[in-house]
């Protein structure tokens, strides 16, 4: 196995594992920041004098902007040193966290979350494709899995971490902590990550070709549906359980923390299952999500059944990032950066769209309607996965 990466005509010694870890921590910091508001929405809404549904825009707006910044970053800045791009994006993330932590009006808070959207999509896209450049051969696969683990853990850790900090020290403390974490990650990347020269790619042309391939498109549709359903429901989980079961305060924090622990377990199991067979792992994940959300609707008022339903939901959600990512990579034929950019676009569009849809339906039909939307999303995703599995494999239109 070669210990060197070839860049142009020059052999470059692989980066240290510290470099891989710094990128993984950066992925964790950006994605954690994205999900911080979910468990804090009631407190944020009360202090800034807006409705909970309106406060949900703190999730919708950055997700939609990240969906734009992900492909744009690849298309416009593919020739720029990756280390410089990551440090620039972390600077934007730092500014976002500070604005939210210090703002006294909702419009300014939302402006801070706009900055997050720009940083999030670009960082997630670039970081997710750096593994093979940092370590060679099989170690490149391991490096990629560590970086993606940072993304996956961020999706499940942000909410309980924000809730626990908010309960203990006030909701602003969660964003203050995120600012400190961002600063520390920036220092690590500055010290540990080597210069990674950019190289021009097919950019938007490659992504258009990928999006036109049926096998990849079906995977993206399934990912979109499961994420939309999840975040339509999960963004409003806190007010839902408060309304149905009277759960709030430290008990709510414990519930969300338990969800996060279950999601970490789901992430680990999902990675093992996806390595053995990505399509089957995605099918299992959609089934778990459907069962869990349906059980939550049926047993929300019963504490003995509410907690198992939440834990099963958390476990299923923990499987989503790693299983869908590997499933999409399986159809990439080596075009990982292009697939990664499109997947980040799809996921963040789904997160933003899901939070927005959940806010709209809960505004008209109560928070139960948001959970129903999650059930519909999980069922629809399972149908798409089953349809995709029944289709014969087709060669891509063009390999770049």
Residue ranges per domain, the chain?
Answer: 15-390
pLDDT over threshold 50, residue 4: no
Per-residue confidence at 198, pLDDT binned at 50, 70, 90? low
- Tell me the two tokens of residue 59: 């999730």
Cα–Cα separations (whole angstroms), residue 15 to 123, 147, 234: 19, 14, 38
127 contacts 90 by C-beta, under 8 angstroms: no
pLDDT tens-digit series, residues 107-147: 999 999 999 988 988 887 788 777 777 877 667 666 776 78
DSSP state of 38: G
SS3 content of the chain, % helix, strand, coil (to 5): 80, 0, 15
Between CA 360 and CA 200, with CA 345 as vertex, the angle to 5 degrees is 160
Between CA 100 and CA 281, with CA 374 as vertex, the angle to 5 degrees is 100
- Write the CB contacts of 295 (distance below 8 Å, at least 6 apart in sequence): 305, 308, 309, 312
Per-residue confidence at 41, pLDDT binned at 50, 70, 90? confident
Over residues 352-373, mean pLDDT: 86
Predicted pLDDT of residue 179: 95
Identify the burial level of 87 via C-beta atoms within 10 angstroms of its C-beta, where 0-12 means exposed, 13-18 middle and 19 or more buried: middle
Q: Give me the chain's average pLDDT, please.
A: 81
- Write the CB contacts of 266 (distance below 8 Å, at least 6 apart in sequence): 314, 315, 316, 317, 318, 319
What is the rounded distance in angstroms from the CA atom of residue 25 to the CA atom of residue 189? Answer: 9
Per-residue confidence at 396, pLDDT binned at 50, 70, 90? very low
What is the rounded distance in angstroms from the CA atom of residue 377 to the CA atom of residue 379? Answer: 6
- Tell me the two tokens of residue 293: 């959300």
162 contacts 174 by C-beta, under 8 angstroms: yes
What is the rounded distance in angstroms from the CA atom of residue 366 to the CA atom of residue 370? Answer: 7
80 contacts 198 by C-beta, under 8 angstroms: yes
Per-residue confidence at 106, pLDDT binned at 50, 70, 90? very high
Per-residue confidence at 158, pLDDT binned at 50, 70, 90? confident
Per-residue confidence at 208, pLDDT binned at 50, 70, 90? low
Nearest to 328 by CA among 342, 345, 348, 349: 342
What is the rounded distance in angstroms from the CA atom of residue 163 to the CA atom of residue 262? Answer: 16
Give the DSSP letter string of 189-244. Answer: HHHHPPP-------HHHHHHHHHT-HHHHHHHHHHHHHHHHHHHHHTTHHHHHHHH
What is the rounded distance in angstroms from the CA atom of residue 262 to the CA atom of residue 307? Answer: 11
374 contacts 294 by C-beta, under 8 angstroms: no
- Tell me the two tokens of residue 370: 């948001």
Tell which wins on pLDDT, 203 or 269. 269
pLDDT over threshold 80, residue 206: no
Three-state DSSP class for 261?
Answer: helix
Predicted pLDDT of residue 141: 61
- Tell me the two tokens of residue 303: 């504490």
pLDDT tens-digit series, residues 220-275: 899 999 999 998 998 888 888 888 877 777 777 778 778 878 887 887 788 788 87
- Tell me the two tokens of residue 143: 């490096």
| Structural fold of domain 15-390 | Growth Hormone; Chain: A; (1.20.1250)
Predicted pLDDT of residue 1: 38
Predicted pLDDT of residue 201: 57
Q: Quick one: CA dihedral 131, 64, 58, 323, positive or negative?
A: negative
Tell which wins on pLDDT, 391 or 92. 92
335 contacts 400 by C-beta, under 8 angstroms: yes
């Amino acid at each position: 196995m070669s210990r060197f990466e070839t860049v142009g005509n020059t052999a470059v010694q692989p980066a240290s594992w510290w470099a891989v870890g710094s990128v993984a921590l950066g992925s964790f910091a950006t994605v954690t920041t994205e999900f911080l508001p979910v468990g804090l929405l009631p407190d944020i809404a009360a202090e800034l004098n807006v409705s909970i549904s309106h406060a949900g825009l703190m999730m919708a707006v950055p997700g939609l902007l990240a969906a734009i910044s992900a492909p744009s970053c690849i298309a416009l800045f593919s020739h720029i040193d990756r280390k410089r791009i990551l440090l620039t994006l972390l600077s934007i993330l730092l500014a976002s966290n500070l604005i939210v932590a210090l703002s006294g009006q909702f419009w300014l808070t939302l402006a801070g979350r706009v900055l997050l959207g720009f940083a999030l999509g670009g960082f997630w896209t670039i970081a997710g494709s750096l593994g093979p450049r940092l370590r060679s051969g099989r170690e490149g696969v391991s490096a990629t899995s560590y970086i993606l683990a940072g993304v996956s853990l961020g999706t499940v850790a942000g909410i309980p971490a924000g809730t626990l900090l908010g309960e203990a020290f006030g909701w602003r403390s969660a964003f203050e902590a995120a600012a400190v974490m961002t600063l520390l990650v920036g220092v690590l990347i500055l010290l540990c990550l080597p210069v990674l020269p950019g190289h021009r790619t097919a950019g938007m042309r490659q992504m258009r070709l990928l999006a036109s391939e049926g096998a990849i498109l079906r995977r993206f549709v399934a990912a979109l549906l499961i994420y939309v359903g999840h975040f339509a429901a999960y963004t409003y989980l806190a007010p839902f359980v408060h309304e149905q079961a009277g759960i709030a305060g430290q008990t709510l924090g414990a519930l969300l923390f338990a969800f996060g622990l279950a999601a970490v377990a789901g992430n680990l199991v999902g990675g093992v299952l996806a390595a053995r067979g990505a399509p089957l792992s995605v099918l299992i994940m959609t089934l778990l999500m459907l069962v869990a959300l349906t059980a939550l609707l049926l047993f929300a008022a019963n504490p003995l059944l509410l907690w198992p339903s939440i834990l099963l939901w958390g476990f299923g959600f923990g499987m989503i990032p790693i299983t869908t990512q590997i499933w999409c990579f399986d159809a990439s034929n080596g075009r990982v950066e292009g697939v990664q950019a499109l997947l980040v676009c799809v996921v963040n569009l789904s997160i933003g769209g899901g939070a927005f849809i959940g806010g709209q339906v809960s505004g008209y039909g109560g928070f139960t309607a948001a959970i129903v939307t999650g059930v519909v999303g999980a069922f629809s995703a399972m149908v798409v996965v089953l349809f995709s599995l029944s289709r014969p494999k087709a060669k891509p239109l063009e390999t770049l």
